[in-house]
């Protein structure tokens, strides 16, 4: 099932993506599916008539995983970590599909990182690897936007990874998916710049959930970004950047100058 969050210029609502008479639609549901389950209201709207929003607003945190693909670690001159490399992005960095990525004035090297994102479905702590699937609500697509120059010079990654607009997610959450070998691609304009597979992850999703939950309580709606394949590079104002994860969909955002 694909769950979207959308607006028709009124309060955001949730819905299930489907098809009616060959037209893509979103079937509205009564509340937030993380808390209220999925109960259809009966209203169906054409996908063309709604604006999709970030499919989840993390209430507490977005957790990033660094250097989780060996070829990506190598391209930036880094070793593969012996344990998952964890950082945080605040929920204020989250934007949705189609939202602009504003190019801040404090960086000269804004880069894309296409990633599979995991949405947590229930409060949990100390989750064993074998139980990780039980705490997953679903999966979406993310662009772990990074100011690469500041990542090198700031010491902490907070500004380089956590600034406003640095966490586009969407277009929706896919709740039923085998994520062991999914293609992850990123395009800038019509150039394919990343083309990897989730089977190249060093630490797999169940291991990441076990590791992160060993020191931090996970809440419903928390998001884990699982790392990016090789091929990271710059985005510039005017660029349209799309990240596609096989079986989920495509997240597209345009980079816009603040000026």
Residue holding tokens 């797999």?
Answer: 204
195 touches 183 (CB < 8 A): yes
Q: Which residue is nearest to Mg ion (CB)?
A: 144
Please select the residue that binds Mg ion; options are 143, 163, 228, 252, rule is CB under 5 A. Answer: 228
- The reply on whether position 202 binds Mg ion by CB under 5 A is no
Q: How far is the CB of 194 from Mg ion (least distance, A)?
A: 11
The residue (of 131 and 230) whose beta carbon lies closer to Mg ion is 230
85: nearest Cα among 167, 219, 202? 202
Q: How far is the CB of 64 from Mg ion (least distance, A)?
A: 6
The residue (of 228 and 253) whose beta carbon lies closer to Mg ion is 228
Q: What kind and span of H or E run contains 206?
A: helix 205-213
CA atoms within 13 A on the CB side of 141: 29
- The reply on whether position 239 binds Mg ion by CB under 5 A is no
Q: How far is the CB of 17 from Mg ion (least distance, A)?
A: 26
241: nearest Cα among 106, 113, 116? 113
Please select the residue that binds Mg ion; options are 13, 73, 144, 210, rule is CB under 5 A. Answer: 144
Q: 26: how many CB neighbours lie within 10 A of its CB?
A: 26
- The reply on whether position 69 binds Mg ion by CB under 5 A is no
Query: Going along the chain, which residue ranges are E strands?
Result: 2-7, 13-20, 23-29, 40-46, 51-53, 62-66, 85-89, 94-95, 101-103, 110-112, 114-120, 136-143, 146-147, 167-174, 183-188, 191-197, 223-225, 233-234, 240-245, 249-257
The residue (of 25 and 243) whose beta carbon lies closer to Mg ion is 243
State how far Cα 45 lies from the chain centre. 25
The residue (of 28 and 63) whose beta carbon lies closer to Mg ion is 63
Q: How far is the CB of 47 from Mg ion (least distance, A)?
A: 29
116 touches 245 (CB < 8 A): yes
Q: How far is the CB of 4 from Mg ion (least distance, A)?
A: 24
- The reply on whether position 174 binds Mg ion by CB under 5 A is no
The residue (of 213 and 226) whose beta carbon lies closer to Mg ion is 226
The 81-120 contact track toward Mg ion, x by CB under 5 A, reads --------------------------------x-------
The residue (of 144 and 222) whose beta carbon lies closer to Mg ion is 144
- The reply on whether position 142 binds Mg ion by CB under 5 A is no
Q: What kind and span of H or E run contains 32?
A: none
Distance in angstroms (rounded) separating the CA atoms of residues 163 and 159: 5
The residue (of 34 and 93) whose beta carbon lies closer to Mg ion is 93
Choose one: 17-25, 138-146, 212-220, 251-259; the region binding Mg ion (CB under 5 A).
Answer: 138-146
Residue holding tokens 């990506």?
Answer: 72
Q: How far is the CB of 156 from Mg ion (least distance, A)?
A: 15
Catalog residues that contact Mg ion under the rule CB under 5 A.
Answer: 113, 144, 228
């Amino acid at each position: 099932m694909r769950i979207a969050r959308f607006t028709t210029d009124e309060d955001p609502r949730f819905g299930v993506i489907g098809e009616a008479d060959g037209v893509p639609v979103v079937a509205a549901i009564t509340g937030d599916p993380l808390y209220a389950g999925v109960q259809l209201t009966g209203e169906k709207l054409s996908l063309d008539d709604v604006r999709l929003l970030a499919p989840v607003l993390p209430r507490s945190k977005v957790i990033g995983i660094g250097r989780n693909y060996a070829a990506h670690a190598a391209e930036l001159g880094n070793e593969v970590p012996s344990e998952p490399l964890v950082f945080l992005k605040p929920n204020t960095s989250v934007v949705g599909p189609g939202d602009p990525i504003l190019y801040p004035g404090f960086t000269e090297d804004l880069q894309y990182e296409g990633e599979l994102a995991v949405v947590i479905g229930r409060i949990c702590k100390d989750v064993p690897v074998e139980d990780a699937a039980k705490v997953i609500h679903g999966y979406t697509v993310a662009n772990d936007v990074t100011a690469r120059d500041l990542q090198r010079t700031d010491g902490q990654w907070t500004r380089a990874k956590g600034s406003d607009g640095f966490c586009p997610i969407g277009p929706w959450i896919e709740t039923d998916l085998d994520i062991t070998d999914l293609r992850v691609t990123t395009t800038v304009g019509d150039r394919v710049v990343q083309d990897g597979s989730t089977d190249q992850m060093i630490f797999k999703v169940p291991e990441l959930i076990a590791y992160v939950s060993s020191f931090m309580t996970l809440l419903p709606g928390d998001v884990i970004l699982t790392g990016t394949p090789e091929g990271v590079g710059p985005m510039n104002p005017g660029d349209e950047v799309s990240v596609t994860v096989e079986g989920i969909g495509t997240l597209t955002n345009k980079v816009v100058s603040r000026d």
